[in-house]
Structure 1
Amino acid sequence: MMMRMVPIRAIGLLVGAILFAGGASAQDRTAVERQFQSWLQSDIWPAARAKGVSRQAFESAFRGVSLNWKLPDLVPPGSRRQTPKKQRQAEFGSPGKYFNRGSVDGATAVGRQMAKTHARTLAAVERTTGVPGRIILAIWGRESGYGRVAIPHNVFEVLGTKGFMATRADYFRRELIAALQIAEAGHAPEAAMKSSWAGALGQPQFMPTNFLNHAADGDGDGRADIWRSEADTIASIGNYLRHFGWVPGRDWGYEIALPANVSCTLEGPDRGRPLADWEAMGIARVSGKPFPDVERRGEMFLMLPAGRNGPAFLVTPNFYVIKDYNESDLYALFVGHVGDRIQYGVGDFAAGWGAVGGLYRSDIAVMQRALEREGKDVGGADGLPGFKTRREIGSWQERNGERATCFPTKAMMGRLR
Structure 2
Amino acid sequence: MRLFRSFAALALAAGIIAAAPPLQAQDRAAVERQFRGWLEDTVWPRADAEGVSRGTFTDATAGITLDWDLPDLVPPGSAPTVPERQRQSEFGAPARYFTPGGLSSATSVGREMARRHAGALSAAERATGVPGHIVLGIWGRESGYGRASIPHDVFRVLGTKGFMSTRADYFTDELVAALRIAEAGHAPEGAMKSSWAGALGQPQFMPTSFLEHAADGDGDGRADIWRSEADTIASIAAYLAHHGWVAGRDWGFEVDVPASVSCALEGPDQGRPIREWADMGIARVSGRAFPDHELAGEGYLMMPAGRLGPAFVVTPNFYVLKDYNMSDLYALFVGHVGDRIAYGSGNFSEDWQDVGRMLRSDVADIQSGLVAQGHDVGGVDGLAGFKTRRSIGRWQEARGERATCFPAPGMADALR
TM-score by length of 1: 0.94
SS of 1:265's equivalent in the other structure is helix
8 Å CA contact 2:80, 2:166 repeated in 1: no
1:138, 1:363 → 2: CA distance? 32
The corresponding residue for 1:66 is 65
Q: Which residue of 2 aligns with 1:206?
A: 205
1:197 matched residue in structure 2? 196
Corresponding residue SS for 1:44? helix
**Distance in 1 (alpha carbons) for counterparts of 2:407 and 2:376:** 15
CA distance in 2, matches of 1:366, 1:234: 42
Question: Is 1:228 aligned to 2:227, yes or no?
Answer: yes
AA of the residue aligned to 1:95: P
- CA separation in 2, counterparts of 1:407 and 1:327? 19
Distance 1:411 1:21, change over 3 A: closer
| Runs (5+) with no aligned partner, structure 1 | none
Aligned position for 1:343: 342
**Paired residue for 1:407?**
406
Moved more, 139-148 or 155-164: 155-164
Within-5 A mapping of 1:227-266: 227-266=226-265
Q: Counterparts of 1:244-393 in structure 2 under 5 Å? A: 244-356=243-355, 358-393=357-392
Q: Distance in 1 between matches of 2:266 and 2:331?
A: 16
Q: Which amino acid aligns with 1:241?
A: L
Once the two structures are superposed, what CA deviation does each residue of 1:137-190 show, in whole Å capped at 9, x if it has no partner? Answer: 010000000001110111111111111222222211111111111111111134
Match of 1:41 in 2: 40
1:9 equivalent to 2:6? Answer: yes
Equivalent residue number for residue 79 of structure 1: 79
Partner SS for 2:220: coil
TM normalised by structure 2 equals 0.94
Q: How far apart, in 2, do the equivalents of 1:326 and 1:27 lie?
A: 34
Could you tell me how far 1:399 is from its partner in structure 2?
A: 2.0
Whole-Å separation in 1 of the counterparts to 2:87 and 2:53:
42
- CA separation of 1:13/1:173 partners in 2, compared to 1, >3 Å: closer, same or farther? closer
SS in 1 for 2:378: coil
Q: Does 392-401 or 296-305 show the bigger shift?
A: 392-401
Kindly indicate whether the alpha-carbon contact (under 8 Å) linking 1:19 and 1:71 is maintained by their aligned counterparts in 2.
no
Moved more, 385-394 or 76-85: 76-85
Q: Which residue of 1 aligns with 2:169?
A: 170
Decide whether aligned partners of structure 1 residues 151 and 268 sit closer, same or farther in structure 2, where only a CA change above 3 A counts.
same
Q: Structure 1 residue 396: deviation in Å?
A: 1.6
CA RMSD of aligned residues (A): 2.0
| Displacement after TM superposition at 1:74 (Å) | 1.9
Q: Distance in 1 between matches of 2:332 and 2:384?
A: 15
Distance in 2, Cα, partners of 1:139 & 1:321: 12
> How far apart, CA to CA, are the structure 2 residues paired with 1:21 and 1:31?
19
Residues 1:31 and 1:21: Cα distance change in structure 2 (over 3 Å): farther
Partner Cα distance (1:335, 1:349) in 2: 13
**CA deviation profile, 1:239-287 (whole Å, cap 9, x unmatched):** 0100111111111111001101211110001110111211121110011
Counterpart for residue 145 of structure 1: 144
Aligned partner of 1:29: which letter? R
How much does 1:383 deviate?
1.8
How far 1:367 sits from its partner (Å)? 2.4
Which position in structure 2 is the counterpart of 1:107?
A: 106
Kept in 2, the 8 Å contact 1:18–1:70? The answer is no
Question: 1:221-240: per-residue Cα shift (whole Å, max 9, x none)?
Answer: 01000001000000000001
| Between 239-248 and 11-20, the greater mean CA deviation after superposition | 11-20
Cα–Cα, structure 1 residues 322 and 27, in superposed 2: closer, same or farther, change >3 Å?
Answer: closer
Deviations 1:39-95 (A, max 9, x none): 211111111111111111111111221111211222223223332625648xx4110
Structure 1 counterpart of 2:176, which letter?
I
Structure 1 counterpart of 2:303, which letter? L
Instruction: Work out the CA distance in 2 between the residues paired with 1:73 and 1:360.
Output: 20
Q: What is the match of residue 397 of structure 2?
A: 398
Q: Bigger CA drift: 407-416 or 211-220?
A: 407-416
The alignment covers a number of residue pairs equal to 412
| Secondary structure at the counterpart of residue 166 of structure 2 | coil
* Alignment check: 8 A CA contact 1:73 1:167 kept: yes
Q: Which amino acid aligns with 2:81?
A: R
CA shift at 1:27, angstroms?
Answer: 4.8
Alpha-carbon deviation of 1:35?
2.3
Where 1:166 maps in the other structure, the secondary structure is coil
Q: Which moved more, 1:208-217 or 1:371-380?
A: 371-380
Compute the displacement of 1:401 (Å): 2.4
C-alpha displacement at 1:212, in angstroms?
0.1
CA, structure 1 residues 67+102, in 2 after alignment: closer, same or farther (shift >3 Å)? same
Aligned equivalents of 2:257, 2:153: Cα separation in 1 = 46
Q: Which moved more, 1:366-375 or 1:95-104?
A: 366-375
Is the Cα contact below 8 Å between 2:4 and 2:199 reproduced in 1? no
Moved more, 332-341 or 52-61: 52-61
Identity of aligned residues (%): 66
- In the aligned structure 1, how far is the partner of 2:17 from the partner of 2:396? 33
**Conserved 8 A contact 1:267-1:303:** yes
CA distance in 2, matches of 1:324, 1:168: 19
